[in-house]
Chains A and B, each alone.
Chain A
């Protein structure tokens, strides 16, 4: 399976955009990029996923580079409630298995 590399921690000012990078240089052609976050003492929460094109939903935007070797999760207007560990994962769609392997993630601290 492809592995990901993320910064250990990041700070962001409340109301500003939070840009969380992820490197996945060994991603294969059929693997998707998924982002989850885990707020302390809660289960992981799905945020967004993508294959090649940039994606946007009500929570965030996902920018995937053309070579697919890296991506960036963007929280457009970070709030204090966005403080969490953010996991970038690459994996196959469900019909090839539903396994997700979470690495260390990025601990995002949103400050007032």
Chain B
């Protein structure tokens, strides 16, 4: 079974631009979560989507947004980029089941550099 894929793997943008990152979850997984990882802040939760609906949201400004499509693929968008948005953006998918546990499987990430 193919893993979580993210595109692009690397991206360079300038301040003020916007960017869209894409994530394809593992086949059959319906939940997609996004994280930002920086050396200083570690891994921080951005938001989670399930069945095209945002279910949870972390403490990030409104410039960070996302969506999920009917095939569970997800995109996140960052508008008006700032230097501090330079980070590794990770997508994770999980299989939502009736049992009370989850496992999140991470993609390789998109490394965004804002100049």
Contact = CB atoms under 8 A, between A and B. Distances in A.
B43 A46 contact: no
A46 B4 CA distance: 13
Contacts of A94: 31, 94, 96, 101-102
B48 interface: yes
A46 B105 contact: yes
Contacts, number: 64
Contacts of B103: 46, 49
B45 interface: yes
Chain B's interface size range is 20 to 34
B60 to A, nearest CB: 12
A93 B45 contact: no
Contacts of B108: 42-43
A2 to B, nearest CB: 15
A43 B55 contact: no
A86 to B, nearest CB: 13
B16 interface: no
Interface string A87-110: 100000111011111111000000
Contacts of B4: 43
Nearest to B93: A98
Contacts of B101: 32, 49, 51, 93-94
A45 B90 CA distance: 12
Interface of A: 32, 42-46, 49, 51, 87, 93-95, 97-104
Given A98-B33, A99-B45, A102-B42, 5 more contacts: A42-B109, A46-B106, A98-B56, A98-B94, A100-B33
24 contacts: A32-B101, A43-B4, A43-B90, A43-B92, A44-B90, A46-B104, A49-B101, A49-B103, A87-B43, A93-B101, A93-B102, A94-B94, A94-B101, A94-B102, A98-B33, A98-B48, A98-B94, A98-B102, A99-B48, A100-B35, A100-B45, A100-B92, A100-B104, A104-B42
